[in-house]
Structure 1
Amino acid sequence: MTQLFDKEQAIGHMLGLTYRKLTTLFLSRMKSYEITPEQWSVLFQIYKAEGLIQKEIAERSGRDRPTTTRILDHLEQRRLVYRKIGERDRRSFKVYITDEGKRLMEEMIPVERRLNEEVRQCVSDEELDLLRELLSRIGQHVQDISERE
């Protein structure tokens, strides 16, 4: 008889469950800022490096292009970012953060920093380094598998 697969121990299940728990906690901390974790991720990329095109923002935030476009539309409606037509390629837009977006980021970054500090209290520095290395390796391996299919 074939042994049943233990879904509870599957890497994807464990990563997904942990991700959802972290996202829920992050969302509760960000509620007063009226921004979702997905919007935060995109806004953070623009805050770090202004003048990116939408494709670069999508890649850096781990989102597909249509989702990134919808998020940018929302951030632009809230006047947190603005788009300028590219000088060399008029079909592409470069995205910049507004003063209001910068102010919001400066308020939110300490909130995220505190959350990360709280979460990492359960692991040592060495364990955290190992976790990061393992997650990077798994992520690259999954990407390699996807590219072969």
Structure 2
Amino acid sequence: MNTNNYFLSFRTAVVSKKMHLFVMRQLAPLDITPEQWAVLSAIKETENTSQRILAELTEKDRPTVNRIMDVLLRKELVKKCVDEKDRRKTIISLTELGIKKIEAISLVIKKALTEMFKGLTESEIEHFLSTLQLIEKNIEE
């Protein structure tokens, strides 16, 4: 085994945890976790979606998305309605409060990402993302 590859894997895991904690600290004053933000963001992008689709988009299992949805419902950031076309289906959408919260969160996330990626060019970020996607593809094959 190439020790550099092992070290790269270890460093990637460490940096991932640090990035998560950094974002968590930035979002804490808004009473939102990164996981809740991921679900809210997916709801905003898809508009009127289902929990199954949210689980796929956020790459989280259904029970996790269900727990996050319970919290977001209690915070009155999202609402559930029965689908008029298929009454077995529940549609999830943002409330007015949820829309406003996303606007505030987006500003915090943008600032956090700017700070996190300070010193990197757009090209370097794109190359890094491309590399991560290739590694992910290799793992999934």
What TM-score comes out, normalization by structure 1 length? 0.86
Q: 2:90 aligned with 1:85, yes or no?
A: no
Give the distance between the partners of 1:121 and 1:52, measured in 2 at CA. 35
- Aligned equivalents of 2:2 and 2:53: distance in 1? 42
Q: Which piece of structure 1 moves more, 80-89 or 57-66?
A: 80-89
1:72 corresponding residue in structure 2: 69
Deviation readout 1:36-75 (Å, 9 max, x if unpaired): 1101100111122211111111111121111001101110
Per the TM alignment, residue 4 of structure 1 is displaced from its structure 2 partner at its CA by 9.5
Task: Provide the C-alpha distance between the structure 1 equivalents of 2:111 and 2:51, rounded to a whole number of angstroms.
Answer: 29
> For residues 78 and 25 of structure 2, what CA distance do their matches in structure 1 show?
23
Match status 1:134 vs 2:140: no
Question: Which of the residues 35, 39, 54 maps onto 1:38?
Answer: 35
Which residue of structure 2 lines up, in the alignment, with residue 48 of structure 1? 45
CA–CA separation in structure 2 for the residues paired with 1:90 and 1:6: 54
Moved over 3 A (4+): 3-8
Q: Which is further off, 102-111 or 46-55?
A: 46-55
Query: Which has the higher relative contact order, 1 or 2, with Cα contacts under 8 A spaced 6 or more apart?
Result: 2
Q: In 1, distance between residues paired with 2:54 and 2:101?
A: 19
Helix, strand or coil: the match of 1:131? helix
Unmatched tracts of structure 2, length 5 or more: none
Across the aligned residues of Structure 1 and Structure 2, the Cα RMSD in angstroms comes to 1.9
> How many residue pairs align between the two structures?
141
Matched residue type, 1:9? F
Give TM-score scaled by structure 2 length.
Answer: 0.90
- Which position in structure 2 is the counterpart of 1:9? 7
Q: Identity over the aligned pairs, expressed in percent?
A: 26
| 1:77-102 CA-partner distances (Å, limit 9, x unpaired) | 11000111122332221100000011
